[in-house]
Amino acid sequence: MAEPSFTLVQLRYFAAAAEHGSMTKASRELMVSQSAISTAVAQLKKELGVQLLLRHHARGLALTEAGRNFYQELLGFLEHSGELAESARRAGATVVGDLAVGCFTTLAPFRLPGLLAAFREQHPRVGVSVLEGEHARLKRALRVLRGAGVEPVIRHRTAGYETVRAMVAHGHGFALLNQRPSHEMTYDGSRVVSLALRDELEPLSVVLAWMRGARLTRRAQAFSAACRSRYARRAPEPGS
């Protein structure tokens, strides 16, 4: 069976059309004619022998099931094609480019600023953008209470770490947090008291995760190395 002979340009044009759901928007983003996008998508369909996009008069373009699978695989391929070109240009001398990093919301104030400063010092030509977010495992944190036969009375919910501390400082209850600030003052000047739990609990693990099977770019590898250097658990000294 002959290997398909599609080009990188065709793949990029298809990815833009799939992302925007429109040939017109894709052509504007890439600053090429709409016919160039349409021709590239048609040639890609011919080479692969499968329908990737469907045209809807009112809703624009929609990915077929095969198109969705192909598009997801293609994103990583295009990322690494850019990395390959970058590697050739710099000949392995400097790590450059953009890197997106996600961090657990309540962990970010304590760990992220220092890590980013250290990473920027080592790799000043990498632009890091950070997305802070919650994790489903937060819900399981309530088992600390339920394991002791206690059902919490929830007064308020918030994703903001400092909002929780301010609520407690103003007498709205108490909260269990997985990080302890270096001071007891809240943003509004109130004071909150931190008490350590007497129960034996597993220590908090700081992890760096990525999609299984994903091939890390050199930027991501450098960031991973910075994380390990700063936070990896060190082996105990002999006799300790």
pLDDT at 162: 85
AA identity, residue 189? G
pLDDT at 218: 83
pLDDT at 146: 55
- The average pLDDT across 37-41 equals 90
As a whole number of Å, the end-to-end CA separation of the chain is 62
pLDDT at 103: 77
Over 50: is that where the pLDDT of 145 sits? Answer: yes
Residues 212 and 226: their CA atoms lie apart, in Å, by 20
Range in 6-20, 125-139, 195-209, 212-226 the model is least confident about: 125-139
> Do residues 96 and 218 touch, judged by C-beta distance below 8 A?
no
Residues linked to residue 62 through DSSP beta bridges, in sequence order = 54
What does the mean pLDDT of the chain come to?
Answer: 79
Over 60: is that where the pLDDT of 113 sits? Answer: yes
Q: Which helix (H) or strand (E) covers residue 224, if one does?
A: helix 218-231
Residue 197 in tokens: 């739990």
- As to burial, measured by CB atoms within 10 angstroms (0-12 exposed, 13-18 middle, 19+ buried), residue 164 is buried
Confidence band, pLDDT 50/70/90 cuts, at residue 93: low
Confidence band, pLDDT 50/70/90 cuts, at residue 87: low
Span 45-69, pLDDT tens digits: 888 888 988 888 767 888 898 988 8
pLDDT at 238: 41
Residue 23 main-chain phi, psi, to 5 deg: -65, -40
Q: Which of 102, 86, 96, 85 is nearest to 124 (CA)?
A: 96
pTM: 0.41
Number of neighbours of residue 220 by Cβ within 10 angstroms: 21
pLDDT at 151: 65
Residue 132 main-chain phi, psi, to 5 deg: -90, 140
Span 163-200, pLDDT tens digits: 888 888 888 788 878 777 888 888 888 888 888 877 77
Residue 191 in tokens: 């004071």
The CA dihedral of 76, 18, 25, 43, to the nearest 10 degrees, is 100
Over 50: is that where the pLDDT of 235 sits? Answer: no
Confidence band, pLDDT 50/70/90 cuts, at residue 81: confident
pLDDT at 96: 78
Q: Which of 134, 99, 107 is nearest to 207 (CA)?
A: 107
Over 50: is that where the pLDDT of 83 sits? Answer: yes
Query: Tokens 């009112």 sit at which residue?
Result: 58
